[in-house]
Amino acid sequence: MEKLAVVSGGSRGIGKAIVRKLAENGFDVAVCGRVADTLAALKFEINEDFGTNIYEFVADVSQKSEIKAFGEFVLNLDSPPTILVNNAGVFMPGKILEEPDENLENMLSTNLMSAYYLSKALVPAMKNLPIAHVFNISSIAGIEAYPSSGSYSISKFAMMGLGKSLREELKTSHVRVTSILPGATLTDSWAGVDLPESRFMSGKDIAEALWAAFSLSPNATLEEIILRPQPGDI
């Protein structure tokens, strides 16, 4: 096996761009997603383009049992992961005083708890490596609320807390922790919006930033990366 990376929610959008960047640089990647056919297509694409392996696992990451099962799946591969990307997430717009209760519960389970359980499963094994890196894909909404961000912003602020706590706990190890906070990135979350593509960043921009942080010397940790479209937030 080549070096191993793990990406939750890696079959499309930002996650897929990250998977491609890791594969381009020689990583095999364990990926979870909800749809088996989408994961199979990703596996074929990566093998054709880069010759590296995708280890796919169907999971609804909002379910504790399924994200923990994905962690077990990864641990049963040949080697502990060098890179963990907690990317899985869902966006449901709404105002706190108006949105259904389920918005908060769903987004906390998907955006926060999946990262919490997967980190608990995999980071202990990563601590034995000479260098390893945890990336948490947060959002601009994790440092700044905006209209109709509602429970999404709550979940992403909590994601920032997870990253800061992990960083503090792992300072004496070889595991670096980086929170990435993208602004408007052209993914399915923006489907139907009447704006030109040029107004958005691409998933590839986020993947390039991640790789740049990983490529620093072991003496340096880039704790937080904020990315916005050049014209600013939408």
Give me the residues paired with residue 185 across strands. Answer: 201
In a domain, 94, yes or no: yes
- At 159, which CATH number? 3.40.50.720
Tell me the one-letter amino acid at 219.
Answer: N
Asked if 23 and 53 count as a contact pair (C-beta separation under 8 A), the reply is: no
Choosing from 55, 116, 117, 152, the catalytic residue is 152
In a domain, 233, yes or no: no
Instruction: Read off the pLDDT of residues 9-34 as tens digits, 9 standing for 90 and up.
Output: 999 999 999 999 999 999 999 999 99
Residue 177, SS3? strand
pLDDT at 192: 67
User: CB-side exposure of 152: number of CA atoms within 13 Å?
Assistant: 18
Tell me the one-letter amino acid at 40.
Answer: A
Residues 63-88: what's their mean pLDDT? 97
User: What's the domain range around 198?
Assistant: 4-227
d(CA 141, CA 2): 35
d(CA 134, CA 137): 10
Asked if 112 and 63 count as a contact pair (C-beta separation under 8 A), the reply is: no
Residues 102-130: what's their mean pLDDT? 97
- Distance from chain centroid for Cα 59: 15
In a domain, 41, yes or no: yes
In the chain, which ranges are continuous DSSP H helix? 13-24, 36-50, 64-75, 101-107, 114-126, 150-169, 203-214
Asked if 121 and 82 count as a contact pair (C-beta separation under 8 A), the reply is: no
pLDDT at 197: 81
In a domain, 124, yes or no: yes
User: CB-side exposure of 3: number of CA atoms within 13 Å?
Assistant: 16
Per-residue pLDDT for 1 more than 80? no
Sheet containing 175-182: order of strands: 54-58, 28-33, 4-8, 83-86, 132-137, 175-182, 224-227
pLDDT band at 109 (very low <50, low <70, confident <90, very high): very high
In a domain, 174, yes or no: yes
Instruction: Read off the pLDDT of residues 39-58 as tens digits, 9 standing for 90 and up.
Output: 999 999 999 999 999 999 99
In a domain, 155, yes or no: yes
Q: What sign does the CA torsion over 167, 155, 28, 52 have?
A: negative
Q: What is the Cα Rg of the chain in Å?
A: 17
d(CA 147, CA 179): 23
Per-residue pLDDT for 94 more than 80? yes
Q: What is the pTM of this model?
A: 0.95
Task: Give the chain's mean pLDDT.
Answer: 94
pLDDT band at 234 (very low <50, low <70, confident <90, very high): confident
Instruction: Read off the pLDDT of residues 186-214 as tens digits, 9 standing for 90 and up.
Output: 777 666 677 888 889 999 999 999 999 99
In a domain, 219, yes or no: yes
pLDDT at 137: 97
How, if at all, do strands 83-86 and 175-182 pair?
A: unpaired
pLDDT at 78: 82
Residue 106, SS3? helix
Per-residue pLDDT for 184 more than 90? no
Residues 1-11: what's their mean pLDDT? 91
pLDDT at 193: 78
d(CA 117, CA 97): 29
Is 117 labeled as catalytic in the residue annotation? no
Residues 159-177: what's their mean pLDDT? 97
In a domain, 26, yes or no: yes
Give how many domains the chain has, as a whole number. 1
Structure tokens at 1: 């096996």
